[in-house]
Amino acid sequence: MKPFLKRISAEISLGWAVVRKDIKVYYLRPGMVMFGLLMPFFLFFSFSVRREMAAAEGMARLLALTLFFTAAAAGPFIIPLERRLGTYDRLLIAPMSLITLLLSKTAVGAIYAISVSVIALLFGVVFFHAPIAQPWLLAAGVLLGAFTFSTLGLIFGSIPVRNPGDVQMPSNLLRWGLLFISGVFIPLADMNSVARAIAYLSPLTYAQDLMNQAILGSGQINLWLDLVILAVSGVIFLIPSLKLHQRGKVLGY
Amino acid sequence: MTEAIQVENLTKVYPTPGKQKGFLAVDQINFCVHQGEVFGFLGPNGAGKSTTQRMLTSLLTPTEGSIHIFVHDLAHDAYDAKLVIGMVPEESNVYTELSAWDNLIFCAQLHQLPKQTRQKRAKELLETFGLWEKRHDKAENFSKGMRRRLSIAMAIIHYPKLLFLDEPTSGLDAHSTHIIHDLIRKLNADGATIFLTTHHIEEANQLCDRVAIINYGKIAAIDTPERLKSAFQQVQSVEVSLHTREESSLPSNLEHSLNSLSNVSTIVKNGDKWRLYTQNPSALLPEIINYAGQNQLQIISLNTLAPSLEDVYLQITGGQIGVVQPNQKDANTPQRKRGNR
């Protein structure tokens, strides 16, 4: 095997080892499992009680929110925790590039979000007979949304601190901000031009629109724009994580 | 001889918020570690030991200078350098939620050991480190000594050519310390180069082929323990234990009297003995014997002592020999602030 291919193969293998370790150590804990099982139900009841909403419409909203909240549920806190316990050093001195490490951390959050979303989806389909207009688009949307929101969470995990509590406040502030300006609470069609322009700043808007296109069969934004913006945002969100890690190596974290 | 580590003009300045000048933790240090040796890195808290080690293991970006691990320049070829190093930090960084077996397998995966090799190696290490019976227990149930042993096993699972050990016996009981010292000797005998960061002088004296003493971010001395000791002959001493001939207690001014003997520079009481530091032990011995005779005191033991590595260390780092130093930590406060980064 050529050295380059050998290196790529080794990086994938190492990244996958980190993913499996993180799932075992952090995501299969009772608290995380309960959070994953209960979060969609809480979200469902929060947005459906006393509201006139079709099952499919509720399903699209539920999936977008589930992805948004679960993909970055633990990511921002795992790295600071590992830094505090010294276990992150073990990963940093392993023969693995930083981008592989960050992608593996992203993948863990995404896998968790996808697993929880599948449960929410099954719940909606089985109990509320929610129709799925474009299943393949739904799969692509769930994958892309999970990746993008996981990289968003990773930015906070990359802040050079050793106390997970230090990233909790800024992480929550940004996530709730992105939630409120998105088209989840008020559909884009009902927004005035200023509110709509602000809504376009939130990646959740595109995830919500993509879910609408996949489940309801129609959305307010061009389908390709939804896909491209989600994918590009995910890649762009990796840049501050890389920079923050490099800064952490200068500061001594 | 191939150098396992070659450090040139290595400097680390930590950025300090609100200040133009950062905190200088390591200041233009140069040294090399020969392949196959046990190299001790000594220094008081905050002297720059951990900062240096973190730079050597690529965890910290140097402000200036270069580091070569074997032939690999750490700044440009970190991947190849990482393939040959292992690190045991001061705090055992095992995954407490995983079993000993899973911890080892994960580390083997991180270093790309083939599946069959990693299982064989994990078994071999668990047996060597006395953890085989506990292999399925979560590490959270392990004692500090067991976690330290597991941490070392995790660091050497890929047969590193260069092993960094940071205070490997800190806080361990005598039995665990003995086991870890034996392991270090065995690893070295098997060909691994050991970089041992410690402030346990006796540990460095017992284990190291060469030691470097770092103080205030600079290398203050670097040599074999015996040559360092021989360079500090002025800290020779005579240890004496005195008793009264009758059942009466020792004179209350005994320490003052011993200290006033003409060849004594410093006196320190160690249990029931006095250690008298001198530049001329052969002249001091008859003085002590005369003093004991004149004061009806019986000499229980009388020994001349060559300078220990601890004496050398204290001389170099500015501590007073044998005296408890309550102010030493305060003196180092600015450096300690960054000491564990």
The minimum CA-CA distance between A93 and chain B, rounded to whole Å, is 6
- Nearest Cβ partner for B82 among A17, A18, A93: A93
For residues B305-322, give the mean pLDDT. 72
With contacts defined as CB-CB under 8 Å, which chain B residues touch A252?
14, 51, 54, 60, 338, 341
With contacts defined as CB-CB under 8 Å, which chain B residues touch A78?
none
How far, in Å, CA of A37 to CA of A40, rounded?
7
Structural contact between residues B54 and B3, judged by C-beta atoms closer than 8 angstroms: no
What is the topology classification, in CATH, of domain B233-306? Alpha-Beta Plaits (3.30.70)
Which pLDDT belongs to residue B333?
31
First to last CA, chain A: 36
Tokens describing residue B221:
């001395």
For chain B, which residues make up each domain, given as ranges? 3-230, 233-306
Q: Does the beta-carbon distance from A250 to B61 stay under 8 Å?
A: yes
Q: Is the CA virtual torsion A222, A223, A226, A230 positive or negative?
A: negative
The minimum CA-CA distance between A171 and chain B, rounded to whole Å, is 23
Interface pTM, i.e. ipTM? 0.89
Q: Does the beta-carbon distance from A246 to B61 stay under 8 Å?
A: yes
pLDDT digits (tens, 9 = 90+) for B138-172: 999 999 889 999 999 999 999 999 999 999 988 88
Mean pLDDT of chain B: 87
Tokens describing residue B208:
């190291």
pLDDT band at B234 (very low <50, low <70, confident <90, very high): low
How far, in Å, CA of B163 to CA of B108, rounded?
16
Angle at B306 between CA B293 and CA B273, to 5 degrees: 40
pLDDT band at B341 (very low <50, low <70, confident <90, very high): very low
How far, in Å, CA of B336 to CA of B245, rounded?
50
Helix (H, G, I), strand (E, B) or coil at B161: coil
Which pLDDT belongs to residue B324?
33
With contacts defined as CB-CB under 8 Å, which chain B residues touch A94?
82, 110-111
Which pLDDT belongs to residue B247?
64
Residue B224 has pLDDT above 90, yes or no: yes
| Token pair 């322009």: residue | A197
pLDDT digits (tens, 9 = 90+) for A15-34: 999 999 999 999 998 888 88
Structural contact between residues B335 and B283, judged by C-beta atoms closer than 8 angstroms: no
Q: Is the CA virtual torsion A55, A57, A58, A62 positive or negative?
A: positive
Residue B322 has pLDDT above 60, yes or no: no
Q: Which of B189, B168, B160, B195 is nearest to B33 (CA)?
A: B195
What DSSP assignment string belongs to B287-310?
A: HHHHHHHHTTEEEEEEEEEPPPHH
Query: Buried b vs exposed e over A206-216: b needs ≥16 C-beta within 10 Å?
Result: bbbbbbbbbbb
Structural contact between residues B42 and B314, judged by C-beta atoms closer than 8 angstroms: no
Which pLDDT belongs to residue A233?
96
CATH 3.40.50.300, domain B3-230, yes or no: yes
Q: Give the phi and the psi of residue A79 in degrees, each rounded to 5.
A: -65, -50
Residue B334 has pLDDT above 80, yes or no: no
| Token pair 């480190």: residue | B129
Q: Which of B94, B89, B90 is nearest to B104 (CA)?
A: B94
Which pLDDT belongs to residue B151?
94
Residue A248: closest C-alpha in chain B: B60
Q: Residues in chain A with pLDDT < 70?
A: 1, 47-53
Q: Does the beta-carbon distance from A17 to B109 stay under 8 Å?
A: yes
Query: Buried b vs exposed e over A48-59: b needs ≥16 C-beta within 10 Å?
Result: beeeeeebbbbb
Which pLDDT belongs to residue B135?
95
Q: Does the beta-carbon distance from B112 to A25 stay under 8 Å?
A: no
Mutate to test the interface with A, among B90, B106, B107, B115 (most CBs of A within 10 A): B106
- Lowest pLDDT segment from A52-66, A110-124, B1-15, B292-306: A52-66
For residues B261-285, give the mean pLDDT. 88
A190 has which bridge partners?
Answer: none
Tokens describing residue B98:
């995983």
